[in-house]
């Protein structure tokens, strides 16, 4: 049991490049699709530019949040979930603050801008969690508490 605990606390870094690039790319992909749809529907120029700004804002919030948690540092595997959670909260608050600024301090205040911002945020969050989950899965030691295979001939009743 002590060996399993020791192995689960080995320090690992997170893949910094993937944590910065994949969420930003997914966020900008959502924004580009939204802008292309708005342009294809003949919307005004502001309705085409606003989604790109919203996507860039969500991407910048994701990149800034990941830089703040310093994923290149090696930390015990048991510490990363808390640090990563703090990063996702920073991402949420940064996206919300930037969205409020974009909505109220510019002429891009529309429901479409907010919807694209929310879509870009969720795409970036999906990318972050996907990269984080794959890193933790690769770095985790093999489990010692795997259940024993059941005997198909047994009925499961104890007498």
Q: Averaged over 62-77, what is the pLDDT?
A: 95
Is pLDDT at 132 greater than 90 in this prediction?
yes
Mean pLDDT of 116-142: 91
What pLDDT, on the 0 to 100 scale, is given for residue 48?
86
Cα end-to-end span (Å), the chain: 31
Instruction: Please name every residue paired with 76 in a beta bridge, in sequence order, or none if there are none.
Output: 11
Predicted confidence at residue 107, as pLDDT, reads 75
Tell me the pLDDT tens digit for each residue of 4-51. 444 567 899 999 999 999 999 999 999 999 999 988 888 888 888 888
Distances (CA, A) of 109 to 3, 31, 68: 56, 16, 29
Mean pLDDT for 77-84 is 93
For residue 11, what are the β-bridge partners?
A: 76
Q: What is the pLDDT of residue 156?
A: 58
Q: Where are the domains of the chain?
A: 14-138
Structure tokens at 45: 């120029």
Per-residue pLDDT, 144: 57
Q: Where are the alpha helices (DSSP H) in the chain?
A: 2-8, 16-40, 45-69, 80-104, 111-139
Which tops the pLDDT comparison, 11 or 153? Answer: 11
């Amino acid at each position: 049991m002590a060996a399993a605990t020791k192995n689960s606390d080995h320090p690992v870094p997170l893949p910094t490049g993937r944590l910065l690039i994949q969420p930003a790319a997914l966020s900008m992909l959502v924004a580009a699709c939204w802008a292309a749809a708005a342009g294809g529907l003949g919307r005004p120029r502001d309705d085409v530019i606003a989604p790109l700004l919203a996507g860039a804002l969500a991407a910048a919030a994701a990149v800034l949040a990941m830089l703040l948690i310093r994923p290149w540092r090696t930390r015990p595997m048991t510490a990363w979930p808390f640090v990563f959670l703090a990063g996702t909260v920073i991402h949420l608050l940064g996206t919300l603050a930037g969205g409020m600024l974009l909505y109220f301090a510019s002429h891009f205040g529309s429901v479409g801008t907010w919807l694209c911002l929310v879509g870009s945020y969720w795409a970036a969050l999906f990318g972050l969690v996907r990269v984080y989950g794959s890193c933790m899965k690769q770095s985790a030691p093999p489990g010692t508490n795997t259940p024993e295979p059941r005997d198909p001939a047994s009925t499961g009743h104890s007498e």
